A and B are shown apart, each in its own frame.
Chain A
Amino acid sequence: MVLLVTAYLLMVHKLSLGYVDLYYPKFTQPAGSLVIGLSRAHTDIDPAGFDGLLAKEGFRGPMMNFAFDRFQSPFSELYLNGVKRKLNHAKNGLFIVAVSPGDFTAPRNMDADLFQKTEEKLVMGKLYNFSESPNYDYIINCFGEPLYSAFFPNRAFENQVSHSNGWNEIRKENRGNVISKELMYDWRKATLRAYERIIEQETVSEYRLNSFKKILDYLTVHGEVFLVRLPAHNEITELENKYWPSFDMDMEKIAEDFNIPYLDYSGFSETYTTYDGSHLLSESAKRITAKIVEDIESIKKQGL
Chain B
Amino acid sequence: MLFNSFEFLIFFPVVLIGYYLLAHKYRWAFLLVSSYYFYMASEPVLVLLLLASTLVDYYCGLKMDKLQSKDLKRKYLVISILSNVGILIAFKYLFFFIDSLNTVLSFFGVDLPSAEKVQGYSINQILLPVGISFYTFQTMSYTIEVYRGRISAERHLGRFALYVAYFPQLVAGPIEKATRLLPQFRKEIKADLQQIRQGLILMAWGFFLKVVVADRLGLYVDLAYSDPEAYSGLPLILAAFFFAFQIYFDFSAYTAIAIGAAKTMGISLMDNFNRPLFASSIRQFWQRWHISLTQWIRDYLYFPLRKNLKATPLLSVSIVFFVMGLWHGANWTFVVWGLLNGAYLVVETFLLPYRKLLFKKLGLQGTPSKILGWSAAFVLIVFSLIFFRSPTIQDAFLYIRHLFSIQNLHFNILNNYFELIISILLILGVQIVHYFKGNSKVYELVISQSVSIRWLIYLTYILFMVLFAINRQNTFIYFQF
Residues of B within 8 A of A4 (CB): 462, 465-466
Given the interface pairs A7-B462, A114-B124, the reply to whether A109 lies near B471 with Cβ below 8 Å is no
Given the interface pairs A111-B124, A193-B230, A194-B227, the reply to whether A148 lies near B467 with Cβ below 8 Å is yes
Is B432 interfacial (CB-CB < 8 Å)? no
Is A11 interfacial (CB-CB < 8 Å)? yes
Is A52 interfacial (CB-CB < 8 Å)? no
Our count of residue pairs bridging A and B at CB distance below 8 angstroms stands at: 53
Chain B residue at smallest Cβ distance from A121: B473
Provide the bound-state CA to CA distance between A11 and B462, in Å.
Answer: 12
Check B116 against A147 for contact (C-beta < 8 Å).
no
Question: Which residues 94-131 of A sit at the B interface, judged by CB distance below 8 A?
Answer: 108-111, 113-114, 117
Is A268 interfacial (CB-CB < 8 Å)? no
Check A190 against B227 for contact (C-beta < 8 Å).
yes
Q: How many residues from A make CB contacts under 8 Å with B?
A: 22
Is B344 interfacial (CB-CB < 8 Å)? no
Residues of A within 8 A of B156 (CB): none
Is A244 interfacial (CB-CB < 8 Å)? no
Is A176 interfacial (CB-CB < 8 Å)? no
Check A145 against B471 for contact (C-beta < 8 Å).
yes
Is A303 interfacial (CB-CB < 8 Å)? no
Chain A residues touching B, majority SS: helix
Give a binary string over A191-204; 1 marks a CB under 8 Å from any B CB, 0 the rest: 00110000000000
Provide the bound-state CA to CA distance between A113 and B463, in Å.
Answer: 40
Check A144 against B230 for contact (C-beta < 8 Å).
no
What band does the interface of chain B fall in when counting residues whose beta carbon is under 8 Å from A?
20 to 34
Min CB distance B432 to A, Å, is: 22
Is B119 interfacial (CB-CB < 8 Å)? no
Check B125 against A111 for contact (C-beta < 8 Å).
yes
Provide the bound-state CA to CA distance between A261 and B123, in Å.
Answer: 38
Is B470 interfacial (CB-CB < 8 Å)? yes
Check B469 against A147 for contact (C-beta < 8 Å).
yes
Check B116 against A108 for contact (C-beta < 8 Å).
yes
Provide the bound-state CA to CA distance between A221 and B334, in Å.
Answer: 51
Provide the bound-state CA to CA distance between A144 and B215, in Å.
Answer: 11
Provide the bound-state CA to CA distance between A144 and B229, in Å.
Answer: 26
A-side residues, CB < 8 A to B, are 3-4, 7-8, 11, 108-111, 113-114, 117, 143-148, 186, 190, 193-194
List 19 interface pairs A-B (beta carbons < 8 Å), by A numbering. Answer: A3-B459, A4-B462, A7-B462, A7-B463, A7-B466, A8-B466, A11-B466, A108-B123, A109-B116, A109-B123, A110-B124, A111-B125, A114-B124, A117-B127, A143-B471, A144-B472, A146-B470, A147-B467, A193-B227
Q: What 3 A-B pairs are tightest by C-beta distance, nearest first?
A: A148-B467, A109-B123, A114-B124
